[in-house]
Structure 1
């Protein structure tokens, strides 16, 4: 499911870049295969499955919907029905007391559902929840003012997941004229630089994290687990804060110099951000 989402998004991008309809048709083939067969999403990780994969399908579908005339109305309606009737119920109630990357993932896909289906109510609810809602995945709750992340004491791959999902959400919102990047005095920026500084080999201040509902998590020390594992999480934030806003991001720049080009090597992340964000070497 997750791999096919990445494949559909890849095909949609390649259609847009190369204008070869074979790629658009392959994306539609993937949409149809799932829309015609998927009956439910089950088991413990069902929210995370939909949250990490849904954004890929929906971005692919958005591209095809607006740039290719070969997606017939019947097939598109079947895809829309799958999204609202099978995916949406899985994530609509969020997972507010789970690790923050869960609701960061849910939120990015809920925003995409709202946009693709023209459901402003779904989009607005997701924006509000990801800004300052009662969830570990909200920007207000995922970061301390220092930039320390809720999962910094867990391991650095999960931190990068939370950062990447929230950056995707912020980029989606930015394209709808809403600034989540700047929320709480650029809290997301601080989270990226804090994590990148630690992953660059420097030490950072760290205290045991207390969740929004008062639970201490992960202990008093920052985790060195996966400290050297650089995931494709960095490009969107760097593009926004550095290229759009002119803000210095020296540690994030070090990360993208190692992660470029951001492709499909880690299926949890939204791929091809080097292409869609800038497509240029770091300055």
Structure 2
């Protein structure tokens, strides 16, 4: 049995090997259609999770009364986040402990970020300036007040909120909304000084959904800030963590270890994988914890790859097999299939949220790769709403919306 420690090197070499394989072989209309990065490194805006073409497609679907977009739009519009009466509740210090102690500002920050994103999407679809004004009001309130995050969950909290702030700000800033320059600059400063330092901290021995959600925020913030160095760092982090989270048999007898961590023996690996000792294509580091956290990781993986796709970098190609296997594996059991005894002792927690739309859209819509179980699960749970953390309205934005 190979040692876990040697796999760190394999993780670091994986992107180079994937690139060489890609240059030698497989292609598709989607892979050839990904936008080439300009030599000057200019970012495409809006380009954090959703592109201008995708926003235009959403507006057209809703205007023409087409499903599932109309139902998804109405669900978003009629949610509490879509109300004109929404009032931001900013905090100077957001304190989020990892245990049962009461936090300070944690829920308010996450929900205000979702409200700003919701209002930004409503503005994009309807063209009503009241929605743009409300999004700006919420973002201005927080950028004027928040200064730091404390307690042990600061990294995850800033990831959840920061990823959503970046999406909201990107839409508002790069449409015809009137966001005064002073407000934009203050929001930029907030992302750079309050969120970016937290979401770029290394957390190799934490559960992998942390690392992936933090990278989701990091890449979105990088695009909003036109920060090329931070963007490239997010790509590198993605390339290290995804193979260490979603297993494929080609990895060997044991999963890959998180780069830079201390999971360096088979015994530590079993503990890190919540007691799982047998590995098969698609099983994830947190499968035996619960599907909720695997869902966070799936959503974050797709968010990162989708943002990179809009910027001309095809991360999807590098993790396509892992992503497809993970979607298929978890969708089966989320739909009710009885797990075998070797998987989590024959018992899994089927508590996944609305986390598969973005990944499924790329695989089926752009690559024509069928994932029947995931398709069935997504269609059963549409229209996807929000998890009140960092996943919101993805039936609306990504159902049948490749915008390749």
| TM-score interval, normalised by the smaller of the two chains | 0.7 to 0.9
Alignment partner of 1:142 is 2:277:
no
Contact 1:147 1:188 survives alignment (8 Å): yes
Deviations 1:108-167 (A, max 9, x none): 1100111000001101111111112xxxxx111011110101100111111111111111
Distance 1:7 1:172, change over 3 A: same
Range moving further from structure 2, 243-252 or 199-208: 199-208
Contact 2:354 2:385 survives alignment (8 Å): yes
In 2, distance between residues paired with 1:237 and 1:123? 20
Matched positions, count: 261
**1:56-67 alignment runs, 5 A limit:** 56-67=164-175
In 1, distance between residues paired with 2:110 and 2:178? 24
**1:177-196 alignment runs, 5 A limit:** 177-196=312-331
Query: How large is the RMSD of aligned CA atoms in angstroms?
Result: 1.8
Distance 1:73 1:263, change over 3 A: same
| CA positional deviation for 1:268 | 2.2
With CA pairs under 8 Å and 6+ residues apart, which has the higher RCO, 1 or 2? 2
In 1, distance between residues paired with 2:308 and 2:324? 16
**Could you list the runs of 5+ residues in structure 2 that have no partner in the other structure?**
1-108, 249-280
Alignment partner of 1:176 is 2:277:
no
Distance 1:236 1:117, change over 3 A: same
In 1, distance between residues paired with 2:112 and 2:390? 13
Alignment partner of 1:272 is 2:396:
no
Contact 2:200 2:215 survives alignment (8 Å): no
Contact 1:154 1:223 survives alignment (8 Å): no
In 1, distance between residues paired with 2:325 and 2:242? 11
Alignment partner of 1:259 is 2:381:
yes
**Could you list the runs of 5+ residues in structure 1 that have no partner in the other structure?**
133-137, 209-219
| CA positional deviation for 1:207 | 6.5
| CA positional deviation for 1:181 | 1.8
| CA positional deviation for 1:185 | 5.0
In 1, distance between residues paired with 2:369 and 2:287? 24
| CA positional deviation for 1:30 | 0.6
Alignment partner of 1:43 is 2:151:
yes
Q: Indicate the SS of the match to 2:313.
A: coil
Structure showing greater radius of gyration is 2
TM-score normalised to structure 2 length: 0.62
Contact 2:358 2:398 survives alignment (8 Å): yes
In 2, distance between residues paired with 1:221 and 1:268? 29
Contact 2:361 2:400 survives alignment (8 Å): no
Q: Which residue of 2 aligns with 1:224?
A: 348
| CA positional deviation for 1:202 | 2.5
| CA positional deviation for 1:199 | 1.4
Alignment partner of 1:131 is 2:253:
no
In 1, distance between residues paired with 2:362 and 2:390? 18
TM-score normalised to structure 1 length: 0.87
**1:41-190 alignment runs, 5 A limit:** 41-132=149-240, 138-145=241-248, 146-190=281-325
* 1:202 alignment partner, one of 320, 337, 342: 337
Distance 1:162 1:207, change over 3 A: farther
Q: Which residue of 2 aligns with 1:237?
A: 359
Q: Indicate the SS of the match to 1:41.
A: strand
Q: Indicate the SS of the match to 1:67.
A: coil
| CA positional deviation for 1:186 | 2.3
